[in-house]
Chain A
């Protein structure tokens, strides 16, 4: 009897994932800048989905206020760039600031439970949005352009932003992956399933939640930085919009809450929907809402959760398997 973490499938798939990341790095060298911009958007969605999943899928923290950190990331970039810092350095600084701000916010927000926490986070996002609206230097309510990025030719700018997006996505998804594979991984999943039972087995629930909250603060901050860099114009109404939370919830619920692979799948699906139904409008939102509701009813584990359950498949090895056990299968 022994404990196995890597299977042949997961080795193959993890290898393939790394290969895809390397291949993606060549995208700006091969494709036109509008393709690069679209793929940057896809990476942003993947990053956002993974971070919301870290919160909700592992910490049981249902936040509808992660746009707070998206906004801080985006406006932080404008702020540092305005001080004369080189734009891409400003983006890294803004990410660090968003992550740092999540620490004091966590002491406030994590006192709240369940629905209180969800609404509390929304309120925090609105408060930060109002503070930005009051600041003339940040364009107040009408928004502001990231003019400093105009010093780069569009092709180069798009390529740099894409590489930054790829870097952030790889860093934050790896961080979550290694966290889940570490000895803390089972503790985090235990919190997801039953917080009080986890506590009774020695899991320091508050500290673990804070860890996830801060990780998501950094990650959503990074996503905000990239959104700003990709659109070149930000205004409080859209960057602090609760719509970001709606997107995150959609991607994670449809893909598979509490699975590592699911939210990535959800992000690809949302990206496809957004590029196919470019007209947008109310029917597009109705469609998104209906799809999410349908999944909640018919496939509560989401696409990936269902596949994993039916096929006993694990592509990225965050779990454990006891081998040389006869007669039973995980999926049995």
Chain B
């Protein structure tokens, strides 16, 4: 459930979203990616209204997402999973698509698993595959839904580096994550949601410091 949410994302900007479970974070992401149609309000992309466009359309325009609970194509290999993003969403063909996929697999440390059936992957590998498929679209907007959970320190550092490099290449990143210290290494703006509304927004330090956030989110966890 979303209520009067207004959010904009600039080129090369990384924005983090935090909030308790049920705050509407994933719902917001579903509305942005086209998986859910809003009852009212609009979604705009590069000056045009894309509210009526379906998820496939929006992906081809350059809005890619990951899923909080990974949804691999279990009957296909890891490479073939990524190839879907490159060919359907990114409209790449042949050798161009293959090279892109191999690069993305390398970037997400999945190269050694390239020929594995996705069904046999563990949860963390599946999360990496979610990211890899979205990257193969070569998106201009990347919507990430909790891809950082359960990682080791080294893996966390690598993920932060990956997302930061995407941001520096001009990709707009919207990242939902429970792990705030991970988010604030990458994002320049933090949005805190609760009960379908944005209750705080601004520079990460300021938002973290806000009492409302502490009540709604940080306080609820300690």
* Residues of A in contact with B (beta carbons under 8 Å apart): 1-3, 183-184, 186-187, 189-190, 192-194, 196-205, 258, 309, 319-322, 325-330, 332
Q: Is the CB of B77 within 8 A of A330?
A: yes
Q: Is the CB of A187 within 8 A of B84?
A: yes
**24 pairs, A vs B, C-beta closer than 8 Å:** A2-B98, A183-B93, A183-B94, A183-B97, A186-B84, A193-B72, A193-B73, A197-B73, A198-B88, A199-B35, A199-B54, A199-B55, A200-B67, A201-B59, A201-B84, A201-B134, A320-B98, A321-B77, A328-B113, A328-B116, A330-B77, A330-B115, A330-B117, A332-B116
- Give the complex CA separation of A20 and B64 in angstroms: 45
- Give the complex CA separation of A204 and B55 in angstroms: 9
Q: Would A202 and B56 be within 8 Å (CB), given that A187-B87, A190-B88 are in contact?
A: yes
- Give the complex CA separation of A205 and B35 in angstroms: 13
A-B contact count (CB 8 A): 126
Q: Is the CB of B67 within 8 A of A203?
A: no
Q: Would A1 and B80 be within 8 Å (CB), given that A193-B74, A321-B115 are in contact?
A: no
> In the complex, what's the smallest C-beta–C-beta distance from A330 to chain B, in angstroms?
4
> In the complex, what's the smallest C-beta–C-beta distance from A310 to chain B, in angstroms?
12
> In the complex, what's the smallest C-beta–C-beta distance from B58 to chain A, in angstroms?
9
Q: Is the CB of B90 within 8 A of A202?
A: yes
- Give the complex CA separation of A190 and B88 in angstroms: 10
> In the complex, what's the smallest C-beta–C-beta distance from A164 to chain B, in angstroms?
34
Q: Is the CB of B88 within 8 A of A202?
A: yes
Q: Is the CB of A193 within 8 A of B35?
A: no
The DSSP consensus for interface residues of chain B is: helix
- The 4 A-B residue pairs with the shortest CB-CB distance, nearest first, are A202-B89, A202-B59, A193-B73, A322-B114
- Give the complex CA separation of A309 and B116 in angstroms: 11
Q: Is the CB of B35 within 8 A of A196?
A: yes
**CB-defined contacts of A197 to chain B, threshold 8 Å:** 67, 71-73
Say yes or no for B160: interface residue by CB 8 A criterion: no
**CB-defined contacts of A203 to chain B, threshold 8 Å:** 56, 84, 88-89
- Give the complex CA separation of A129 and B178 in angstroms: 59
> In the complex, what's the smallest C-beta–C-beta distance from A188 to chain B, in angstroms?
10
CB-defined interface of B105-133 with A at 8 Å, one 1/0 digit per residue? 10000011111110010000000000001
> In the complex, what's the smallest C-beta–C-beta distance from B94 to chain A, in angstroms?
8
B73, B93, B120, B134: the one contacting A190 at CB < 8 Å is B73
Q: Would A194 and B73 be within 8 Å (CB), given that A3-B102, A202-B137, A322-B79 are in contact?
A: yes
Q: Is the CB of A186 within 8 A of B80?
A: yes
Determine the residue in chain A with the shortest Cβ distance to B118. A193
